[in-house]
Chains A and B, each alone.
Chain A
Amino acid sequence: MSDIESLEQIAKEVRRDILVMLNKSGSGHSGGSLSVTDILVALYFGKIMNYDPHNPEDEERDRLVLSKGHACPALYAVLSKAGYFERDLLWSLRKLGSPLQGHPDSKKLPGIDAATGSLGNGISQAVGMALAAKVLKKKYKVFCIVGDGEMDEGLVYEALNVAGHYKLSNLIVIVDNNGLQIDGKCSDVMNIYPLKDKFDAFNFKTFEIGGHNYKSLLDTLTTAKRNVLKPSAIIARTVKGMGVSFMANKVEYHGVAPSDDELKRALEELK
């Protein structure tokens, strides 16, 4: 198996885990978890991020802030595969007492670098981590994933302004550009385009890539990591609900878990 084929295999297993988790919990966000899966798999299994699941508090580790926190089932599945915790824990998603909260909680689960859920808040925390690295003279990188709907929030632009102003080259912002939010298409609910021009204007080095293409993901993330002058933004074009035909590009599956029958059909497709 080539490296890329093995990443694709991992992504398939992660997507299966996501769907089973969501089905067992009976609620949660399917669409945005499936769209962000390949980005997370590239980060954690494509030798992009520096992390140690046995030392999740390591001060030198790279940070991952999932600013679109509702997609945490994908992050949980990836973290368990990366060895942060037992896979069985996944099935407790959203249940009383589970460290796998409906939105990521850094106090409850190792591997979660920042608590998110209220959109727009993750990116400011990521900027803070990147600034802290400069103060503390540390070499870690901060990866922050934001939703395209999330880009409606003014707080996002305040954070981008700071990142550009302080030339936070250790910050890599990735937009999961699936084109949908809750009430409909981003372009109908609140137009956020042109995204690339916006990032450029905020003094970012901006890349536009296919967010399910591992070669582009790995090449771009590697280039972005080498950036020394500016923060990087990667606009990753994705499909909400990617991997499951009946969920793909369907706004209805934003915040809905698969039923038993849907799960069966979905797992059939992800064999």
Chain B
Amino acid sequence: MEMKATREAYGKALIEIGKNEKVVVLDADLSGSTKSADFKKVYPERFFNMGIAESSMVGTAAGMALSGLKPYASSFAVFVTGRAFEPIRQSICYQNLDVVLCGSHSGISVGEDGGSHQSVADIALMRSLPNMKVVVPCDYNEAFLAVKASLEIEGPLYIRTSRAKSPILTSIDDKFELGKAKILKEGSDTAIVACGMMSYIALEAAKLLEKEGISVAVVNSPSIKPLDEETIFTLSKNVSKIFTLEEHSVIGGLGGAVSEFLSENNPVAIHKIGLEDVFGESGTKDDLFCKYGFTKESVAERIKKKLG
């Protein structure tokens, strides 16, 4: 299976949408890592390095949006959402500005840098802000299409990318639609709703369970806000338990979004698989996925146990 990192798609897509002269790109001394440097190579006059100053970068992006530009501002997920939270709230979301934030190196798959650099709460932070939309692409293609589509999306948008390469599940000929989830695999006993590179793990776990006679539907839900309520609702009508799977805390992320929606509309049992209210730590991505239960085997095991 072809492997590529979603952060690569950010840089490539920026070059395409850069044809629009309103597009400006800001970074905070991590342009090589977030891949915004790809844009800089083609459109140096519309690229602004803001120094290691995420808060001021985000505030600057707001000012640019107020003046008619379409800013894209990136850093590691942990810094662009956490360090800059207050200007995101006050300047971008409060004024409902057309600013796209991209957080790369998300989750624990960033690995060895450790807990200080791993974002376990970025989805929760961004999702809780009025006007903000949150997209977590599952692979390179979906990330590329989401960034391209973002040019037409109004209001604040947060796109979460990863440092690690992950398998490509979707086609570049697909269409990205905000608020739409996709069924990757049908199933009748239970369902997993996942995002980011966890969608691949969900599929693989479903295959393992299939061998044991458990039929598992897998839904890829890149759009965490707005959530694809229709698809999730229909899914919940067919199974008695739903699992969510994300490289994020079980508090406030995709699992939170699905729980909040279904608890009011069709309260089936929901089991959230993610980080259990803990910070990450240093280690290789694979070691960390093993320890924190993000391998296909551990996900399948968890599901089997819960289904009883």
The yes or no answer to A95 lying at the interface (CB within 8 A) is yes
B78 touches A98 (CB 8 A): no
A102-B30 contact in complex given A150-B52, A181-B52, C-beta closer than 8 Å: no
Chain B residues with CB below 8 A from A120, complex form: 52
A152 touches B52 (CB 8 A): yes
CA–CA, A28 to B283, complex, Å?
A: 12
Distance of A260 from chain B, by nearest CB (Å): 18
B239-269 to A contact mask, C-beta < 8 Å, 1/0: 0000000000000000000000000000000
Distance of B81 from chain A, by nearest CB (Å): 12
Chain B residues with CB below 8 A from A116, complex form: 116
The yes or no answer to B83 lying at the interface (CB within 8 A) is yes
A190 touches B117 (CB 8 A): no
Per the 8 Å Cβ criterion, residues 24-64 of A in contact with B are 25-28
Distance of B105 from chain A, by nearest CB (Å): 12
B116 touches A149 (CB 8 A): no
In the complex, which of the residues B31, B49, B288 contacts A190, with contact meaning CB atoms closer than 8 Å?
A: B49
| Complex interface: stretch among B3-11, B107-115, B229-237 | B107-115
A1-41 to B contact mask, C-beta < 8 Å, 1/0: 00000000000000000000000011110000000000000
B113 touches A102 (CB 8 A): yes
The yes or no answer to B297 lying at the interface (CB within 8 A) is no
In the complex, which of the residues A28, A69, A117, A190 contacts B51, with contact meaning CB atoms closer than 8 Å?
A: A190
The yes or no answer to A105 lying at the interface (CB within 8 A) is yes
What count of chain A residues pass the 8 Å CB interface test? 32
A149-B52 contact in complex given A101-B281, A118-B79, A182-B32, C-beta closer than 8 Å: yes
The yes or no answer to A212 lying at the interface (CB within 8 A) is no
Chain A residues with CB below 8 A from B53, complex form: 152-154, 190
Per the 8 Å Cβ criterion, residues 76-110 of B in contact with A are 78-79, 82-83
Q: Nearest 10 A-B pairs (CB), nearest first?
A: A190-B51, A117-B116, A152-B51, A96-B283, A102-B114, A96-B287, A152-B52, A94-B112, A101-B114, A103-B116
13 more contacts with CB within 8 A, not counting A101-B116, A115-B116, A190-B51, are: A27-B113, A94-B112, A96-B282, A96-B291, A101-B115, A101-B281, A102-B112, A103-B117, A105-B114, A117-B116, A183-B30, A183-B32, A190-B50
Q: List 25 A-B contacts (CB under 8 A).
A: A25-B112, A28-B112, A94-B282, A95-B287, A96-B282, A96-B287, A97-B283, A101-B116, A102-B116, A105-B115, A118-B83, A149-B52, A152-B28, A152-B29, A152-B51, A152-B53, A154-B55, A182-B29, A183-B49, A189-B29, A189-B49, A190-B49, A190-B50, A190-B52, A190-B53
